[in-house]
Structure formats: C-alpha cells, structure tokens
Chains A and B, each alone.
Chain A
Amino acid sequence: MEFNVLIGGEAGQGMFSVELELTEILSRLGYHFFATKNYMSRIRGGHNYHMIRVAERPVHALSGKPWDMVVAMDSAETERRHRPALREGGAFIGADRIGQLEAEATKTFQDVTVTSTLLTGLILSFIGADPAAAQAVAPDEPARTALAKGREFAARWGLEGPRSLSPKAGDHCKLDGNQALALGALLGGCQFVAGYPMTPATSILHYFSAVAPEVPVHFEQAEDEIAALNMALGASFAGLRSMAATSGGGFALMTEAVSLAGMTETPVVVIDAQRPGPATGLPTRTEQGDLDFVLHAGHGEFPRVIFAPGSVEEAISLARRAFDVADRWQIPVFVLTDQYLADSVQVMEGRVPTKILRRETPVFGAGYRRYEITDSGVSPLTYPGLSEARVEIDSDEHTEDGKITEDIGLRARMVDKRLRKFEGLRQEAVMPTRFGDRRATTVLVSWGSNRLIVNEAVEALRAEGIAVSSIHFGQVYPLTPPMARGLARKRLICIENNATGQFERLLRRELGLKAAHRILQYNGECFTVAGLVERVRKILG
C-alpha cells in the first residue's frame, strides 16, 4: 500500500508550501516518503507540480503509476494535464474545494497562505496519519489549529483514511540532494564556498550562507563563475578546503580555472548540478548532459576525478570523499548531480560517515619546493604564513620551486609528474554498486541520480518474473578494469538522462564494455519506475 499525490498550479500558488509542510510532518511522524517537483523558470504563472509518494517501505523514486490524489490549486491547467492520470476512485481536489479552503484560511486565520496547512491536514487525514501524533509534531499552535481544520474538511468531503498507511521509517533525517551534498562537503572539511546563483545549484549556496554564522565556513557570492572558482582556488592556496557549485552554463565559465587548478595542483571541488542544455536550455528541469563536458573541461592534460552520487547517502559520502581526494592528490574533483536529485526530498535510511575530515597543515623550512618531483606525483603541500617556506604557485609551466620555465626537459617531467597521480587515483577508485540477482544475464547500467529508480525497476521486473540486475557507477571517472568484472558477457542496458548515451560511450572507451541497448530520456523529466519498467520490458520482449 502506498499513496501518490500530485499538487499542481501556477508558480506562486503555494504548492511548494504544501510540499515543505507535508514532508516536514511526514518526516517527523516517521513515514517513508519521496517528494520531487517539476517547475518552470518563472516566479508567477505557468504550471508547476509537486509529487509526493508515501509508503510503508523505503521509496526513492516516482512510481509512475496513476495518482491517488490530484490537488489543483489553479482553475483548469492541473485538471486538464493531470486528472487523466488520476486512478479510478482517486480523489480530486479542484478549484471549488480549494476555494473553500482559501475562504477558511482567510476567515479563521486572516491569512490565505494557511491554505497550504489546511491541505496538509487534509492529506494527512487521507493517509490515516494519527491526528494526535500529527498535532504533537506541528511547528506551532496556529499550525495545530489549521491541521485540525484540514482534517475536518477531509471528513466533510469523505476523504478520511482511504489509504491508511503506517509510519515505518522510524527516527530519520530527510534531505534533498543538494542539502546532502552540502552536508557532505561540511563533513569533508570544506570551509570556503564561492558561487553565483544558478538553478539547480543555488540551494547548495543557500545552505552554506545559512550555516556560516554558526560554523567556521564562509560563502562568498562572486560577480561571475569565473571569479567564483578563482576565489575558491585562492582560498585553497591560502589553506582552506574550498568548493564552487554551479550548473552547466556557469561551469562553462569555470573551465579556465579548472585548467588552472590542474596546472597549479591546487585542490578544489566543483559541483555541477546539471540541467538540460545547450545554452540556457530548460533551466529548472533535469538532464545528465554534462558528463562529456566535465570529463574534458579545461585546456591541457591533467588528472581529475568525477563522482556522480545516486542517493542522498551517497551524495553525503562522495561529497565528503571529494575533498579528501582533492587534497591528497592536489587535483580538481567534480561532483555531478542534477535537478532531479537536487530537488528530490528523501528519507535517509543508510548510515553515513560523520567523522569530519580536516586538512593537514605541515610546516616546512626555507628550502621548501612546492612542485618537488616525487614518485607518486604528489608534492608536499603547505600554505603561506606558516614558516619561512614560500609557497610559489604558477599557471605557467614551472620549476620545482614554482618559477616560470620553458625548459622542455623539465616540462615533460612535470607533465609526467602530474599524470602519474592517475596511477594512485585508479587504485583508490570507488567501486560501482550492484543490486539484484547477479546471475541474471541482463544488467541495467546507470550513473548519478538514476540509481534508485533503476533499483526499484529491477524489483518490479523481478515481481513480474523478469530477471535483471543493476550496476551503478558513483565514480564515473577514472573507470578502472576491476569495475568491469563480470560484465563482459552480460547484456548491458545503459540508462541515462541524455540524448547521446555519454556514459555508454565512456564505458566503451575506458573499459571496452559495449552496451547492447540504451534507454535515454532527454525531455527534461526524470524517469519513473513504471516508465523504466515499460522500456526494459520492450527491449527484453
């Protein structure tokens, strides 16, 4: 048993408020739920909708099945678009009922925005949430009154408890993908973040600016993304683990500084929250279209690592790890996420490492050489002002002590030194995660945000008697031969939110793995479990 609701309307009509209030209470009550949204790049008007799934087991994807309830905050558009997908016997809350709720909000609370709390009470009643428990976790007295009023409307309209669900998630944390990344960055010891607002990365910046007054971290809003990544590099050079976060268009401006990080061997982490391009594209929708771009960003050749987490737990652990890898190998490390993961609120069931990592600050003498050539390719790293050791950093090809050089022999040795890091990076690569029956001949391959949608599809297919397993790559670069173990003789279906199968091509190039099929989606929407099952079924006949 589960419950799926869609709340639609024009931007500014309060759907997001319903999502925020409802998910907050669901979480406090200990329900398993998943919430995501589909919104337009505008502040008013248009058509936005928020989708919430409540269940008695962990859920981390849209089911794609007919809605149990559709709430239309607007007069026609939500009904026109989404009522056809309401299941038979499902509840439709249309303009007349919203009008009654708004009248109640205005009359009793002198505040039409209380409509969202009334709706929250109504939906909680619909799923049979314990009223006393809901009252207990409500934020304040007006909210308690409004939730009770919402329940009265549910009773009046015969919507009390038709989808009775029990809370089974226990005490937990709820996070969206960006909060998870920001938290992971904090755990990774990140103390400096620079950025320029760009959907869907902005909430990462919000997180840091919000926590900065309480902890020793700083967020700086840069004049552009060029400045943002250069600021992060300056802060890293000065001694702080640093990060920039943006989306593809902003990352385009950062590529010059990515190359600077590569040449100067300055540790830095960059998050690219992908959205559909090219250019401005669909600013508020999802896509996995930047893999090729991030893989090749920055002129010249230098080592890099790219992570692409597939859950909130993995977003935390890989973001945390990114800072450690960046520091130990003195390279730029990238974390690819996307609008779907960024804007999806999820219950965190797994445990994550919470020990906070720290940057070492070794002290050297006056003979310190920033670019000393070593076997691992990693030179001793320290920061200005700690001793007489001068930290000399140069974007030109440089000598071991950081001075401009055009010595061609030294140039080759410096290139070799930098690229030698790949050997160590390959050895500590994060292995992909497997799911399902490994004996199955068909393997669904994914990377980044699709992991848990794919895994639920594997389960749904098994329930239909179709045996498939899945593999998810949380590290998409570098790819190493052990990652391909056992895959060569499988029938691989590569699942990606892009039009050209970027990861499928990378698998072929780096590991010689050829996928038999691709399932691609590039209309700006995420996959749903039912949609994915349908497409896999079609391939497998």
Chain B
Amino acid sequence: MNRHDIAWCPGCGDFPIRATLEKVLRELPVAQKDIVLTSGIGQAAKMPHYLPYSYFNGLHGRSLPLAVGIKLARPDLTVIAVSGDGCHYGEGGNHFLHTIRRRLDITILVCDNKVYGLTKGQSSPTTDLGMKNALDPQGNQNTSFSPLAVALVAGAPFVARTFAGDPQHMETVLREAILFKGPSVVDILQPCVSFNKVNTYAWYRERIYRMEEPQKDRYEAIRLAEGWGDRIPTGIFWRDGQFICREGKEMFRRHVTESAVARLLNKPCIMMR
C-alpha cells in the first residue's frame, strides 16, 4: 500500500493500530487466507483496505451483522470487525448489543477517537459531556456512552481497553482478543489529531495506567470499565474462562440432498398454530 493512498491524517491513531493489527495477524497461528475483516463506514472503517486480507467493507454501523453472517456461514474463518466509535456504538449500537449476545467467536475492534472524523468533527457517542464540536457549538449535551461497561452488562466474555499510543500494550491485548474463543470487545483509545483537540496523546498519557490482570469479579470489572477522568485503566477488564462459545455448523460445500427434501415434504404442517 503506497503511503499516499492512505486516507488518514498524519499522526492519526489509526496508523499505529493498523501496524499493530498487521503484526498480530501475521503472527497469528491462522493462515492468511482464513482471516476475514469486516468494517462499516468512517476513517477507521477503511482499515481493511490497508491490510492484506479478504474483507467486506459494508455500510455505516453494519460491520457486525456482516461478521455474524460470515461466522455462521463459515465457522472455519477468523472474523474481525473493525470500525470506529460512531459506527459500532452509534449507527450500529443495536448490533453491538446483540452481536455480543450471539456468543460467536467474533472480535470487535473499536477505534475510539471520541469524535466523528470523516464527517469532520461532530460529537460521537463517546464524546465527553460539554465538549464543543461542529454540531455542538454550545457543547455536547449527551452523556458519554460507556462502551465497555455496556459490553460487560450485555454478557461479553472478553472486554479490554488499549491505547493507540502504546503499541506494545495494544499488541498483547489485540492478540489475546483475537485468540479468545467468543465475542471479544476491544475499545482502542485513539487521538484524532484533526478534530479532537482535547483527548490528545498527551492527555491520555497523563491519565492512562495499565491493569496487569483481568478482574476476578465481573461487577468490579464493570465498575472499573465505567470509570473515566483523571485515571483511565487499560488492559483486559474481564476474561471469562468458563465461557462456552457457540459453535457454528459446517455448511459450506455441503448440500441439501434430494432424499432429505423428499423426507421434509412428508413432514406435517409446519405452520404456526
């Protein structure tokens, strides 16, 4: 990929995310051909275009139902949905909740810069209360969405936060998330150098601290995940060792047979009664 083909601003957090994801995927014990990325719309959603894997870059907010369809159809594929905070938490908020609930082995990566980049600087679901943006000259009137606490409450068995300014940490967290068997959610804090003048690399560096271990108690994980402000924890909040992942059915290149259809025709009425 030529540097000039990339649509991100110089200094964008998407660059280190891309480089780390590329390294993690390359080192994954999975063949390159068996990895599939989905994304929605936004600057972060262009990520698959800059990585050497099959992808389905769909519509705004819809990367997750695409991922669900792919994973159900082809359990043999490793499926990663990567998009921004507006895409996963705003337009696709309902899919975020329900994809977690489906218990499929899908990795949800959220490049969270707390602002809309591609549409040039409007508030996103994770924008802090009171922050001034293109459509909020008086300051954002909405409570900031707490994605990881919501993910935990929805039943996500793997929930983590990392920081685009800390590639080494990001690498560990992304690898663990992808290798985890079940729906994993990683919120990647990422400065937007063009439209978010508050949550900068320096702002994060002053506040971020690493948690060394996942929490033993899910409610403690929720409490910590909800925390925001002077001290912002990164790392794996929760990893459910007992989680039972839903196994897909092998269907690809297996076909319904004529004798099976003949059998089905003799089934009694399947109408609702």
Contact = CB atoms under 8 A, between A and B. Distances in A.
Contact of A16 (B36, B258, B273): B273
B33 A385 contact: yes
A192 interface: yes
How extensive is the interface on chain B, given as a class? 35 or more
A212 B20 CA distance: 40
Interface residues of A, number: 71
Contacts of A203: 270-272
Contacts of A224: 94
Given A227-B95, A233-B58, A240-B252, A179 B260 contact: no
Given A224-B94, A230-B62, A231-B65, A390 B253 contact: no
B56 A237 contact: yes
B58 A385 contact: no
B264 interface: yes
B58 A260 contact: yes
Nearest to B97: A223
Contacts of A233: 56, 58, 66, 69
Contacts of A24: 268-269
Contacts of B66: 230-231, 233-234, 237
Nearest to B40: A395
A223 B95 contact: yes
A194 interface: yes
Interface in A346-393: 354-356, 358, 361, 383-388, 390-393
Interface in B243-271: 248-258, 260-261, 263-265, 267-271
Contacts of A220: 68-69, 72
Contacts of A189: 255-256
B84 to A, nearest CB: 15
Interface string A8-40: 000000001100100110000000000000000
Contacts of B269: 20, 23-24, 179
A231 B71 CA distance: 10
A481 interface: no
A385 B250 CA distance: 14
A396 interface: yes
Contact of B62 (A226, A383, A388): A226
A237 B264 CA distance: 28
B41 interface: yes
A223 B94 contact: yes
A387 B36 contact: no
Contacts of A230: 58-59, 62, 65-66, 69
Given A210-B270, A216-B255, A186 B261 contact: yes
A222 interface: yes
Contacts of B107: none
A231 B69 contact: yes
B230 to A, nearest CB: 36
B94 A238 contact: no
Nearest to B78: A385
Contacts of A393: 55-58
A239 interface: yes
B220 interface: no
Given A256-B62, A383-B74, 5 more contacts: A202-B272, A231-B66, A235-B69, A238-B252, A264-B58
Interface of A: 16-17, 20, 23-24, 173, 176, 178-179, 183, 186-187, 189, 191-192, 194, 202-203, 206-207, 210-211, 214-218, 220, 222-224, 226-228, 230-240, 242, 256-257, 260, 264, 354-356, 358, 361, 383-388, 390-396, 402-404
15 contacts: A179-B269, A202-B272, A216-B256, A218-B248, A226-B65, A227-B64, A227-B98, A234-B73, A237-B56, A238-B70, A238-B74, A239-B73, A355-B258, A384-B33, A390-B55
The 9 closest A-B pairs by CB, nearest first: A234-B69, A230-B65, A231-B69, A235-B73, A223-B98, A234-B66, A384-B54, A227-B65, A235-B69
